């Protein structure tokens, strides 16, 4: 029998201890210890001629009833402007290595095929001028992937001359006749896409010989891009884990180390999707905690992959002149039931918002080497920002993460240290929390904290050094379920809400909901 004192103590505990006590986690942030600049280009987008990514997603044509400017959807432009898209990679993807730019300029467009993506016809009504108009409308820069697989250096060189030259050549006059006398700016140039696979199944050595030729002859002639704002040339890089990919990086970087005056590269691309295993079989909606935890575990492998390839790059390029550009990343799930499997249609849930935050944080922690990334893809394809259906448009949870992260564009990385332990589910054990901090151009401190645990809230106490913190405010993104989504009929299920944060005695305190992404700014 228990003594009356023990029984009394048990009753008292039951009254005073809440059923679910939020775990307390201490963070420490010293704003005076800054790292590399978080290049705004890590928030880049990817728009391929694939499914409804371009046609219907961006391009509806000038005669459409859907409000548009010169054929480009106004609603989509408005939404993308708000997330300050730094660059858009176009026209592919696998599509790029079968793309012939001449077929999509001028008044007569050729109808071609898109054998990679559903075998549908390609109307070529969205070409160079329409793409440049689109990125101009959203305020982004061009990341053009040229055709190395089935094109020629001459074709690519002429495309660049057509786009960027100012001198009155025949191609420049043709561009003027087609409506654009002034040269276009091309900020980034991709020399092929996945040349180890859909881009031509090349060996690393064969690719390197092609890369040198394209780097030499595919010139940017824009007078404004000669001394300053030079076009960055991005070589094809690895596409996964294992010796095949480390060999690829070794070969390209070894060639770079020995490069001569006649050619150069400024970036090495990397593709890494969160997929667990091929073909993608996880569903994008209608899943539970098991799939949630497995997908997040898989996405965190981005860290090891970047570290591994950065280490190889360090060997050949210790000054980090060549950027690592993760120009395809994101969750890739089973095709949405009823959709054309070649169109890569999937829903976008709260899980994807968390997945996006984890990847962006990994890129930020590697900001000295990772100076670009492009989520796949921008609209209606894979982990999209935006889903459209005729005149309807909905912004996805991933869109809102990109919006919340705008202050991190070009901000200076500030390390955050903490030990939050692990979230476990079945055989999966992943860190409970993830966080980054950065200082913007005005000296304001920004903090992002992701609570991966779908069940437990977390109380944060962040010790702030190096600034005199006065107050803090922010937003948090969460939803009732790990697979909550935004739909045309219920567009605000997963949208950011204000969060209350307190600053006292140099300490910031706030409570994070389970499965949430939170961004807070600290006022001095
Ligand atoms: O994003 C879809 C496809 O994935 C791209 O076209 C290709 O580069 C990659 O394999």
In the predicted structure, residue 6 carries a pLDDT above the cut 80: no
Return d(Cα 3, Cα 19) in angstroms, integer. 24
Number of Cβ atoms within 10 Å of the Cβ of 273: 21
Band (pLDDT 50/70/90 cuts) for residue 18 is very low
Determine the pLDDT at residue 19.
Answer: 47
Number of Cβ atoms within 10 Å of the Cβ of 26: 14
Return d(Cα 398, Cα 385) in angstroms, integer. 6
Please name the residue whose Cα sits nearest to atom 6 of ligand 1. Answer: 93
Return d(Cα 44, Cα 275) in angstroms, integer. 20
What residues form DSSP beta bridges with 462? 27, 508
Asked if the bond preceding 93 is cis, omega within 30° of 0, the reply is: yes
Determine the pLDDT at residue 1.
Answer: 38
Residues 505-510, mean pLDDT to the nearest whole number: 95
Hey, which of 51, 88, 93 would you mutate to test ligand 1's pocket, going by the most ligand atoms within 8 Å of its Cβ? Answer: 93
Determine the pLDDT at residue 21.
Answer: 67
In the predicted structure, residue 7 carries a pLDDT above the cut 90: no
Q: Tell me the CA–centroid distance for residue 96 and ligand 1, in Å.
A: 10
Residues 341-360, mean pLDDT to the nearest whole number: 98
Determine the pLDDT at residue 171.
Answer: 98
Hey, which of 44, 46, 271, 335 would you mutate to test ligand 1's pocket, going by the most ligand atoms within 8 Å of its Cβ? Answer: 271
pLDDT tens per residue, range 111-149: 999 999 999 999 999 999 999 999 999 999 999 999 999
Atom of ligand 1 nearest to the CA of 116: 6
Determine the pLDDT at residue 196.
Answer: 98
Q: Are strands 120-122 and 141-146 parallel, antiparallel or unpaired?
A: unpaired
Return d(Cα 152, Cα 211) in angstroms, integer. 12
Hey, which of 376, 377, 379 would you mutate to test ligand 1's pocket, going by the most ligand atoms within 8 Å of its Cβ? Answer: 376
Q: Are strands 458-465 and 188-191 parallel, antiparallel or unpaired?
A: unpaired
CA distances from 369 to 35, 123, 309, 317, 523 (A): 12, 39, 10, 10, 30
Number of Cβ atoms within 10 Å of the Cβ of 469: 21
Q: Are strands 112-114 and 471-477 parallel, antiparallel or unpaired?
A: unpaired
Is the CB of residue 52 less than 8 Å from the CB of residue 388?
yes
Is the CB of residue 86 less than 8 Å from the CB of residue 44?
yes
Q: Which residues contact residue 97 at a Cβ distance below 8 angstroms, ignoring those fewer than 6 apart?
A: 147, 148, 149, 150, 151, 192, 193, 195, 198, 199, 200
Return d(Cα 105, Cα 101) in angstroms, integer. 7
Within 13 A of 273's CA, how many CA atoms are on the CB side?
14
Please name the residue whose Cα sits nearest to atom 9 of ligand 1. Answer: 93
Residues 320-325, mean pLDDT to the nearest whole number: 98
Q: Are strands 433-439 and 412-414 parallel, antiparallel or unpaired?
A: antiparallel
Average pLDDT across the chain, whole number: 95
Q: Which residues contact residue 159 at a Cβ distance below 8 angstroms, ignoring those fewer than 6 apart?
A: 101, 128, 144, 146
In the predicted structure, residue 78 carries a pLDDT above the cut 60: yes
pLDDT-above-90 percentage for the chain: 95
Q: Is the CB of 513 under 6 A from ligand 1?
A: no
Q: Is the CB of 327 under 6 A from ligand 1?
A: no
Q: Is the CB of 462 under 6 A from ligand 1?
A: no
Determine the pLDDT at residue 22.
Answer: 81
Q: Tell me the CA–centroid distance for residue 114 and ligand 1, in Å.
A: 13
Which ranges of 150-203 would DSSP assign to H, the alpha helix? Answer: 153-164, 170-177
- Of 77, 88, 224, 50, the closest CA to residue 138 belongs to 77
Q: Tell me the CA–centroid distance for residue 384 and ligand 1, in Å.
A: 14
Residues 432-454, mean pLDDT to the nearest whole number: 97
Atom of ligand 1 nearest to the CA of 344: 2
Name the helix (H) or strand (E) containing 44. strand 44-46
Return d(Cα 36, Cα 411) in angstroms, integer. 9
pLDDT tens per residue, range 167-221: 999 999 999 999 999 999 999 999 999 999 999 999 999 999 999 999 999 999 9
Q: Tell me the CA–centroid distance for residue 154 and ligand 1, in Å.
A: 25
Which ranges of 320-396 would DSSP assign to H, the alpha helix? Answer: 350-365
What residues form DSSP beta bridges with 234? 190, 267
In the predicted structure, residue 92 carries a pLDDT above the cut 80: yes
Band (pLDDT 50/70/90 cuts) for residue 335 is very high
Residues belonging to the active site: 194, 328
Is the CB of residue 112 less than 8 Å from the CB of residue 122?
yes
- The three state secondary structure string of 193-250 is CCCCCCCCCCCHHHHHHHHHHHHHHCCCCCHHHCCCCCCEEEECCCCCCCHHHHHHHH
278 φ/ψ sector (left φ>0, alpha ψ -120 to 50, else beta): beta
- b (16+ CB within 10 A) / e for 320-341: eebbbbbbbbbbbbebbeeeee
Determine the pLDDT at residue 20.
Answer: 54
In the predicted structure, residue 9 carries a pLDDT above the cut 80: no
Is the CB of residue 325 less than 8 Å from the CB of residue 373?
yes
Determine the pLDDT at residue 5.
Answer: 45
- Of 330, 357, 368, 356, the closest CA to residue 448 belongs to 357
Q: Tell me the CA–centroid distance for residue 93 and ligand 1, in Å.
A: 5
Q: Are strands 507-512 and 458-465 parallel, antiparallel or unpaired?
A: antiparallel
Q: Which residues contact residue 522 at a Cβ distance below 8 angstroms, ignoring those fewer than 6 apart?
A: 444, 445, 446, 447, 464, 467, 469, 471, 472, 503, 508
In the predicted structure, residue 10 carries a pLDDT above the cut 80: no
In the predicted structure, residue 268 carries a pLDDT above the cut 50: yes
Q: Tell me the CA–centroid distance for residue 204 and ligand 1, in Å.
A: 19
Atom of ligand 1 nearest to the CA of 117: 6
Number of Cβ atoms within 10 Å of the Cβ of 439: 19
Return d(Cα 23, Cα 387) in angstroms, integer. 36
Q: Is the CB of 192 under 6 A from ligand 1?
A: no
Is the CB of residue 519 less than 8 Å from the CB of residue 474?
yes
In the predicted structure, residue 158 carries a pLDDT above the cut 70: yes
Q: Is the CB of 93 under 6 A from ligand 1?
A: yes
């Amino acid at each position: 029998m228990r003594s009356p004192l023990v029984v009394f103590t048990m009753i008292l505990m039951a009254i005073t201890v809440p059923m679910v006590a939020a775990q307390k986690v201490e963070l420490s942030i010293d704003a005076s210890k800054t790292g590399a600049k978080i290049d705004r280009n890590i928030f880049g987008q990817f728009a391929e001629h694939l499914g409804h990514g371009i046609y219907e997603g961006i391009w509806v044509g000038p005669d459409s009833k859907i409000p548009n400017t010169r054929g480009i959807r106004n609603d989509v432009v408005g939404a993308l402007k708000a997330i300050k898209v730094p660059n858009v990679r176009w026209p592919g993807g696998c599509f790029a290595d079968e793309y012939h730019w001449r077929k999509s300029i001028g008044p007569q467009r050729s109808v071609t095929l898109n054998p990679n993506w559903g075998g549908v016809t390609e109307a070529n009504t969205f070409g160079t001028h329409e793409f440049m108009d689109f990125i101009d409308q959203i305020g982004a820069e061009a990341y053009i992937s040229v055709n190395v697989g089935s094109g020629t250096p001459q074709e690519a060189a002429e495309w660049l001359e057509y786009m960027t030259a100012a001198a009155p050549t025949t191609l420049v006059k043709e561009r003027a006749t087609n409506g654009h006398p002034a040269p276009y700016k091309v900020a980034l140039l991709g020399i092929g896409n996945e040349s180890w696979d859909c881009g031509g199944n090349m060996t690393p050595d064969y690719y390197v010989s092609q890369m040198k030729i394209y780097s030499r002859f595919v010139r940017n002639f824009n007078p404004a891009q000669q001394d300053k704002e030079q076009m960055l040339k991005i070589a094809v890089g690895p596409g996964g884990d294992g010796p095949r990919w480390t060999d690829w990086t070794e070969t390209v970087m070894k060639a770079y180390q020995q490069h001569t005056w006649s050619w150069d590269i400024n970036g090495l691309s990397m593709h890494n999707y969160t997929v667990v295993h091929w073909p993608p079989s996880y569903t994008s909606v209608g899943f539970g905690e098991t799939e949630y935890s497995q997908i997040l575990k898989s996405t965190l492998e981005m860290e090891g992959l970047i570290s591994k390839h950065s280490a190889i790059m360090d060997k050949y390029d210790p000054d980090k002149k060549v950027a690592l550009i993760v120009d395809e990343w994101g969750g890739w799930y089973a095709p949405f039931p009823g959709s054309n499997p070649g169109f890569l249609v999937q829903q976008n849930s709260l899980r994807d918002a968390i997945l996006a935050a984890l990847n962006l944080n990994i890129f930020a922690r590697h900001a000295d080497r990772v100076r670009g990334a492009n989520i796949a893809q921008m609209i209606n394809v894979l982990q999209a920002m935006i889903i459209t259906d005729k005149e309807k448009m909905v912004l996805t949870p991933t869109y809102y993460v990109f919006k919340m992260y705008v202050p991190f564009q070009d901000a200076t990385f500030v390390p955050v240290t903490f030990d939050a332990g692990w979230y476990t589910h079945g055989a999966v054990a992943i860190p409970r929390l993830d966080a980054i901090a950065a200082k913007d151009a005005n000296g304001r401190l920004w903090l992002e904290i992701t609570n991966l645990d779908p069940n437990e809230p977390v109380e944060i106490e962040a010790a702030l050094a190096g600034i005199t913190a006065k107050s803090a405010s922010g937003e948090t993104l969460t939803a009732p379920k790990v697979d909550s989504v935004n739909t045309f009929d219920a567009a605000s299920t997963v949208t950011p809400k204000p969060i209350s944060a307190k600053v006292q005695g140099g300490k910031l305190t706030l409570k994070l909901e389970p499965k949430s992404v939170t961004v807070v700014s600290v006022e001095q």
